[in-house]
Amino acid sequence: MHHDPAPRGMIRALGGNGPHEGYMPGFGNDFETEALPGALPQGQNSPQKCAYGLYAEQLSGSAFTKPHPERTWCYRIRPSVKHTTRFTRIDVPLWKSAPHVLPEVTSLGQYRWDPVPHADEPLTWITGMRTVTTAGDVNTQAGMAAHIYLVTESMRDEYFYSADGELLVVPQEGRLRFCTELGIIDLEPKEIAVLPRGLVYRVEVLEGPARGFVCENYGVPFAPPARGPIGANCLANPRDFKTPVAAFEDRDAPSRVVLKWCGQFHETPIGHSPLDVVAWHGNYAPYKYDLRTYSPVGAILFDHPDPSIFTVLTAPSGLEGTANIDFVLFRERWMVAEHSFRPPWYHKNVMSELMGNIYGIYDAKPKGFVPGGMSLHNCMLPHGPDRNAFEGASNGELKPEKLEETMSFMFETRFPQHLTEWAAKSAPMQDDYIDCWDSLEKKFDGTPGVK
């Protein structure tokens, strides 16, 4: 089903820098962009009067005093105080926030789900969000939630923002357009986008139905990991992150803004579009990234590095080297390790691992973990290859081999993940996943030698 892109008069700055029209390259740059010439003040942030009668406003994504603060200056038709009025509590029943620990739901276990089927009812970005797990505590800005979205309908005269965290969006099916205060991002499978905390936007369906995964990060924002001995190149290269150029709409129409705040949802009626930022500069902005530009680094002689080698983005916690969330990518790559068991090894981990399959076959689970599906290996619960994967990898000839047609990811958090009632009871959980290790044999018989 194809939908009208419906930019509905959104006026966008001309070009970006470089070949990707409408986007500016780089991660966390001090970007500047204007949709009308001369709208962006030069040499200062807060002139006595701004061009075009715009209002100057700062959006602070970090404490003022963070060593490298994240903030953006917006030059807008109306200040944001005009984009909310009185709030009315609303119910968004399937979008949950931590802490959300239910006595009747067991989160202890290894779980796997089939792709969640699309619903018959029309669903928007807000009503189509289904929380799978929550971790940490939204009130202390630590932890995360993992969601599935099922979206068939564009938001009409409706806007959303979250004070609870940034959203990392991993599409698996369909194409979406995020019309944000700071510009427009079009997103399709094999790309990801990050929507910062506090950013107002509307989500439109370019090609539906759309399904994907979301990591809601309650903590400090995602950034590429420290590279250590890998050096300046490979993994996710900064230039492949794309931030949209300024775009705005000057439109009066009865509208509502939905706000997620400390796990609660409220609506507030306004009479115009809040997407009215004509120019902006700063380093706190949405971005997208094409996962096909990720250059994996791995074993080139023997053994298997920890999966952290495949980190695309990491959101640090207060504990050094211990992420609030790592976003990790398992994509096409060559396997060349000699005399080694090449798939992921058997594992028990203090971090909890939620995986999703974007497309193709995952090497540790050739069957059962399918595109659109997901799995959860919670804090200190063992997991690893099933028997087929184990036997295949133990007995195969170790010639160079390319893993093709594969793209899965992991949201790995330092906090235990708690299932929602929806994930435990309504989502298509595979009751027999735990049995996938049943047929692993005891090979030990006390005699030496390779079995």
| Footprint of Fe ion (CB under 5 A) | 347, 349, 353
In terms of Cα–Cα distance, which of 314, 301, 427 is closest to 374?
Answer: 427
Nearer to Fe ion, 190 or 347 (CB): 347
Least gap, CB of 355 to Fe ion (angstroms): 9
Distance CA 133, CA 352 (A): 11
Minimum CB separation of residue 133 from Fe ion in Å reads 16
The smaller minimum CB distance to Fe ion, of residues 302 and 345, is found at 345
Shortest distance, position 357 Cβ to Fe ion, whole Å: 15
Question: Catalytic positions, please?
Answer: 304
Rounded distance, CA 290 to CA 19, Å?
A: 14
How far is 293 from 431, CA to CA, in rounded Å? 36
Question: What is the smallest separation between the CB atom of 308 and Fe ion, expressed in angstroms?
Answer: 11
Neighbours of 279 (CB within 10 A): 26
**395: helix, strand or coil:** helix
Name the CA radius of gyration of the chain, rounded.
23
Note if the bond before 99 is cis, omega within 30 degrees: yes
Q: CA–CA separation, 156 vs 82, rounded Å?
A: 19
With b for 16 or more beta-carbon neighbours within 10 A and e for fewer, the 302-318 pattern comes to eebeebeebbbbbbbbe
Phi and psi (nearest 5°) for 22?
90, 0
Instruction: Give, in degrees to the nearest 5, the angle at Cα 222 between 217 and 226.
Output: 140
| Cis peptide preceding 115, ω within 30 of 0 | no
CB of 216 to Fe ion, least distance (A): 22
Q: What angle do CA 428, 358, 312 make, to 5 degrees?
A: 125
Which C-beta is closer to Fe ion: that of 304 or that of 347? 347
| CA–CA distance, 118 with 371 (Å, rounded to integer) | 14
Closest distance to Fe ion from the beta carbon of 344 (Å): 6
Q: How many residues does the chain have?
A: 451
CB of 180 to Fe ion, least distance (A): 34
- Report angle CA 197, 55, 165 to the nearest 5 degrees: 5
Closer Cβ to Fe ion, 276 or 353, answer by number = 353
- Choice between 79 and 382, CB closer to Fe ion: 382
Q: Which of 285, 287, 308, 316 is nearest to 67 (CA)?
A: 316
How many CB atoms neighbour CB 156 within 10 A?
12
**What's the min distance (Å) between Cβ of 409 and Fe ion?**
13
Is the CB of 3 or the CB of 347 nearer to Fe ion?
Answer: 347
Residues contacting 414, CB < 8 A, separation 6+: 317, 319, 322, 323, 324, 350, 351
Q: Closer to Fe ion at the Cβ: 169 or 351?
A: 351
